[in-house]
Chain A
């Protein structure tokens, strides 16, 4: 099973990689490891460096400095044994327009001894794609479906996807998410996926890497993130709340001396209760979902925290 081979070396590891395009620094001293057998969400705002990082993983782009290894092999020396175990779904197609879907599938299949025709047939049906159509005549959504098929039908051990679902309708998107989970269940396939559709990401990822201005600002198990970010509503009828919150775990606050809403990041057990007691207030707390967490993740560094 692929899971065994994938587990022996991390699917991807980067040590101090920087990527410059002229004056632009797309990635800055990035060190990280993609854990095997996980679905990793790569998040960040536009221009944060997500696509560059994904292109480094697949060897399309070489870092200006630092070392990057995919399946334990430096990315400038990737060859057939690694490339056949890698599935890449690029943001802008990467398909050949004049071919029909059928021709393109056959063309790609010819490179991979592991190409799974039964999977291909099933996915054509599930994703509602007509193999007789020419790629150039397809809508952007249907082109993304082709991209997905081309990325998964050789049953890779490591799947790298750049915004693979932005043009898909909600029904097909749900099927595409299930497809990623199914690849993990059946083949132990590690998945690295970038997406702005945080509601989707939230359903399937168990690890989150967040980039901001080319730097890693979060690299953590998703449930640990969920358990450390929270909203606290403090209320004090007597008006005893402070005006400022210099505590480093308070990421944002609004309100007055009677009621305040804090967004916090802390792993300390009962931190909310202790904090509330200290300022003579009552506290209600609730966890944050990924969409609420995202601005906090991406703004921490900029505010110098």
Chain B
């Protein structure tokens, strides 16, 4: 089954960006394991009712970023990563959320120590 991508056509975020973010997140969470074949540009374009150019751009940039790689002619697959690269790939989506949280913390004037303590509490809470 191809990855389920949900595109919001009207939120102002370019569709190619939305595809990239969602594919990266699905790779990070293991929904798209290494070696998974991506849908063809044509198929995904029909599926999402999006311009094929948009899909090519997203795929091209994902390839450039090392998330995908081209195999056996044209097929795009999820690239296997190891070590530091795999770790960065996994925590990258979290980093994005934390950047926003950090900005809010500064805005609310929450001291660094207190913000870290809060994050730790939330982590502990969720694992119970």
Query: Restricting to A192-243, which residues have a CB under 8 Å from any CB of B?
Result: 199, 202-206, 222-223, 226-227, 229-230, 235
B53 engages A38 (CB within 8 Å): yes
Contact of A287 (CB < 8 Å), options: B12, B16, B49: B12
Interface of A is mostly: helix
Give A174 to B13 CA distance when docked, in angstroms: 21
The number of residues on chain B lying at the interface, defined by a beta carbon within 8 Å of a beta carbon of chain A, is 22
Interchain CB contact (< 8 A) of A185 among B14, B45, B103, B107: B45
Q: Does any Cβ of B come within 8 Å of A282's Cβ?
A: yes
Question: A129-179: which have CB < 8 Å to B?
Answer: 174, 177-178
Are A282 and B12 interface neighbours, CB within 8 A? no
A205→B54 CA distance, assembly (Å): 10
Docked-complex contact A204 and B12, CB < 8 angstroms: no
Are the CB atoms of A227 and B14 closer together than 8 Å?
Answer: yes
For the complex of A and B, list the 8 residue pairs with the smallest distance between their C-beta atoms, beginning with the closest: A287-B12, A223-B14, A282-B107, A289-B12, A226-B14, A206-B51, A203-B9, A206-B53
Q: Would B54 and A288 count as touching, CB distance under 8 A?
A: no
Q: Does B57 make an interface contact (CB < 8 A)?
A: yes
Contacting pair A37 B53 (CB below 8 A): yes
- Please tell me if A54 contacts chain B, counting CB pairs below 8 Å: no
Which residue on B lies nearest to A186, using beta carbons? B42
- A–B complex contacts, Cβ < 8 Å, 11 sampled: A38-B53, A178-B49, A181-B45, A181-B52, A185-B46, A203-B50, A223-B14, A282-B107, A287-B13, A289-B12, A293-B12
A39 in the interface (beta carbon within 8 A): yes
Is the beta-carbon distance between B12 and A185 smaller than 8 angstroms? no
Query: In the bound complex, do residue A205 and residue B51 qualify as a contact, i.e. CB atoms below 8 Å apart?
Result: yes
| Chain A residues, CB < 8 A from B50 | 181, 203-204
Residues of chain B from 18 to 59 with CB closer than 8 A to chain A in the complex:
42, 45-46, 49-54, 57
Determine if A122 is an interface residue (Cβ-Cβ < 8 Å).
no
Chain A proximity of B64: nearest CB distance (Å):
16
In the complex, what residues of B have CB within 8 A of residue A286's CB? 12
Who on chain A is nearest to B13 by CB? A287
Q: Is A116 an interface residue (CB 8 A)?
A: no
Q: Which residues of chain A have C-beta atoms less than 8 A from B52's C-beta?
A: 181, 184-185
Cα distance A185–B60 in the bound complex, in angstroms: 18
Instruction: Name B9's contact: one of A181, A202, A206, A230 (CB within 8 Å).
Output: A202
Q: In the complex, how many residue pairs between chain A and chain B have their CB atoms under 8 Å apart?
A: 63
Residues of B within 8 A of A (CB): 9-17, 42, 45-46, 49-54, 57, 103, 106-107
**In the complex, chain A residues whose CB is within 8 Å of the CB of B54:** 206, 223
CA distance A39 to B45 in the complex (A): 13
Q: With A185-B42, A185-B45, A282-B106 known to touch, is A202 a contact of B10 (CB < 8 Å)?
A: yes
Residue of A38, A206, A230, A293 most packed against chain B (CB within 10 A)? A206
**A128 CB-CB contact with B under 8 Å:** no
Residue of A nearest to B100 (CB): A284
**Chain A residue at minimum C-beta to C-beta distance from B107:** A282
Question: Are B51 and A287 in contact (CB-based, < 8 A)?
Answer: no
Rounded to whole Å, the gap between the CB of A76 and the closest CB of chain B is 32
Docked pose: A184 CA to B15 CA in angstroms: 18
Q: Closest B-chain residue to A200, C-beta based?
A: B9
Query: In the complex, which residue of chain A has the Cβ closest to the Cβ of B52?
Result: A185
A235 to B103, CA, bound (A): 13
8 Å CB contact of B12 from A38, A178, A226? A226
A184 touches B10 (CB 8 A): no
Q: Which chain B residues border A181 with CB–CB below 8 Å?
A: 45-46, 49-52
Chain B residues in 8 Å Cβ range of A92: none
B11 touching A204 by the CB < 8 A rule?
Answer: no
Chain B residues whose CB sits within 8 angstroms of the CB of A185 once the complex forms: 42, 45-46, 52
On whether the beta carbons of A226 and B53 are closer than 8 Å, the reply is: no
Closest beta carbon of chain A to B72's beta carbon, Å: 23
Q: How far, in Å, is B56 (CB) from chain A's closest CB? A: 10
CB distance from A273 to the nearest CB of B (A): 9
Check A223–B16 contact: CB distance below 8 A.
yes
